[in-house]
Amino acid sequence: MEVLSSRILIRPREPEAAWAFYGGTLGLAVSREFPGGVVYFLGTGYLEVSGRSSDGPIGPDALWVQVRDVAAAEAELHAAGAPVTRGTRTEPWGLRECWIADPDGRAIVLVEVPPDHPIRKDLRSM
């Protein structure tokens, strides 16, 4: 199988609230819009927020979003009114994380990879 592109799709309870959150509060850039949906750039991937769910979050349990400075991102999003469900801290596995929630309660994990973390090491030369 050759993968050419990928996209995460979520179906919010209130599309307008989700679009305001992802496009406004988080400030994600729009890749394209169509009747009933918006596709946002999400780093090297895409996030499509379309349709409507009557049951709440359906799909991923959490979105993992890497940022350069997680504490700065937390402060920015807190000021914008995003619900911070777990403040910035260094996890036992060495990543710095902050958790927020979208309007449907879906977890969004903001992650900073410290410069000395093993993820940043090229293990091929070891």
Total number of domains constituting the chain? 1
1, part of any domain: no
CATH code of residue 23: 3.10.180.10
Q: 77: closest CA among 98, 46, 104?
A: 98
Q: Check pLDDT > 80 for residue 1.
A: no
Average pLDDT of the chain is 87
State pTM to two decimals: 0.80
38, part of any domain: yes
Alpha helices in 7-125 (DSSP H): 15-19, 70-79
114, part of any domain: yes
Domain that holds residue 95: 8-125
Across residues 85-96, what is the average pLDDT? 93
2, part of any domain: no
Give 37-58 pLDDT, tens digit per residue: 999 999 888 888 988 887 755 5
Q: Show the CA angle centred on residue 91, arms to residues 116 and 95, nearest 5°.
A: 35
Q: Show the CA angle centred on residue 17, arms to residues 31 and 65, nearest 5°.
A: 55
